[in-house]
Amino acid sequence: MGKVKRTLLRLLEALGHNIFYLFLLLFGQGGAYLLLKPVIVTYLLFSRKIHRNAACYLKRRFPDHGPVRLWLDTYRLVHSFGQVLVDRGWLGLRRKAQLRGDLIGGDRLLELVAEGKGLVLLTAHVGNWQTALAHIRGLAVPINSLMHYEEEAVAKHYFDLRDGTAPFKIIKSDGFMGGMIESTAALGRGEVVTIMGDRYAGGPWAEVEFLGATARLPSAAYSLAAATGAPVAILLAAKTGRRSYTIKVWDDFYPATGERHDRQRDLGRWADRFAKSLEGYVRQNPYQWYNFFDLWSQ
Amino acid sequence: MQELKEQLKEIIVRDLKLQGIEPAGIEDDAPLFEEGLGLDSLDAVELVVLVQKHFDVQIEDMDEGQAAFKSINTLTEFIEARRK
């Protein structure tokens, strides 16, 4: 792609964001939701890439859907993602704006934290995960979030807009050993480390059965927990209404690994537990897993 | 210092369950990760925990880890410096 084209696309993207911000300021969340519909239809009509990327997941979630229904599925997925982005902008721009959140399994999280072994909180690219992270402020121990650059930029942008203070400390996963050293130290202090369990972007991995086929998921979180003795809890957020969402603890366990040559198999077992939870989540909320990567061909 | 190096080699082979490697066969200046002893990021986590457990020395961040985990020599120096 040429430099001029790249610059033009960046300017168009910035213009798009600013139009949405203007709508949010003038017409609120509802106004921006209305604008979202024609924007997404236009996007889907002109971008082949979005159909290709969304199909990796949607074809597995809805194997019996033909081209027309798949087009509509893509619309619903992108529309739902767009609503999450609008919510994020709305929360940032309107100081008094709030989403109502229900935490299911909060007591279990408190019990796990109280054990003092630290807690690996596994989450995924679902719902409004920044809001979900803000919701666990009440755990009484510092929260760290292991993130790669792109997620870090989005999270910082969101919390900069919101009130300037992120509810967690960011550990960069693109440094030496993928942030594992800082994460180990944090767990050693009894703190919480949140990790995205659904996107493999390098480092150790495990193969799991997910939506009817073998997929590759990251496995560093289980190794981290096994080495430090920390428990793992799976926490996934879902939007349930225009201004409401739930955050649910889907599962918790203490990963362990045996012999070195069995390590890959052991880590796979724990990654499988995560895959089962995520599969349960996407059965309930098919249009809230914002995955545009082909995990099944990695 | 030499005693600490031997102790570290013992711990690495035993606790990381390295097979086919004798502690005495680990060179003091050989890289611990990748092309050297062949440790990976999963081992790095365990090594941080082992150093804490056996020597009560905490490795806090990647800069410290990167410097300390180069070889047995650097890890020994790191532990010695922190223990004082």
**Is residue A243 within 8 Å of A98, Cβ to Cβ?**
yes
How far A103 CA lies from chain B's nearest CA (Å)? 31
pLDDT band at residue A121 using 50, 70 and 90 as cut-offs: very high
Q: Is the pLDDT of residue A214 over 60?
A: yes
B65 closest CB neighbour out of A181, A203, A259: A181
| CA dist A171 → A63, A79, A120, B74 (Å) | 38, 31, 13, 24
Selecting from B52, B60, B65 the residue whose C-beta is nearest the C-beta of A177 gives: B65
pLDDT at A155: 57
- What's the angle, vertex CA A172, arms to CA A166 and CA A175, rounded to 5? 165
- CA pair distance A202, A106, nearest whole angstrom: 31
Q: Which residues pair with A238 in a beta bridge?
A: A246
Residue A17 is predicted with a pLDDT of: 83
ipTM of the complex as predicted: 0.77
Which chain A residues have any C-beta within 8 angstroms of a chain B C-beta? 175-185, 188, 203-204, 220, 223-224, 227-228, 259-261, 263
Model pLDDT for residues A23-82, shown as the tens digit of each residue: 988 999 999 999 999 999 999 999 999 999 999 999 999 999 999 999 999 999 999 999
Chain B: residues touching A (Cβ < 8 Å): 16-19, 40-42, 44-46, 48-49, 52, 58-66
**Residue A16: which pLDDT band, with cuts at 50, 70 and 90?**
confident
> pLDDT higher for A177 or A162?
A177
Ordered by start, the domain boundaries in chain B are: 2-83
Question: For position A160, what pLDDT does the model report?
Answer: 55
Q: Which residue of A has its CA nearest to B16?
A: A260
**pLDDT class of B52 with cuts at 50, 70, 90:** confident
Best residue of A120, A181, A223 to probe chain B, by most B CBs closer than 10 Å: A181
Averaged over B65-75, what is the pLDDT?
90
A9's enclosing H/E stretch is helix A3-46
Phi and psi dihedrals of A101, rounded to 5?
Answer: -120, 135
pLDDT digits (tens, 9 = 90+) for A217-267: 999 899 999 999 999 999 999 999 999 999 999 999 999 888 888 888 899
CATH code of the domain made up of B2-83:
1.10.1200.10
Contact A125, A288 (CB under 8 A): no
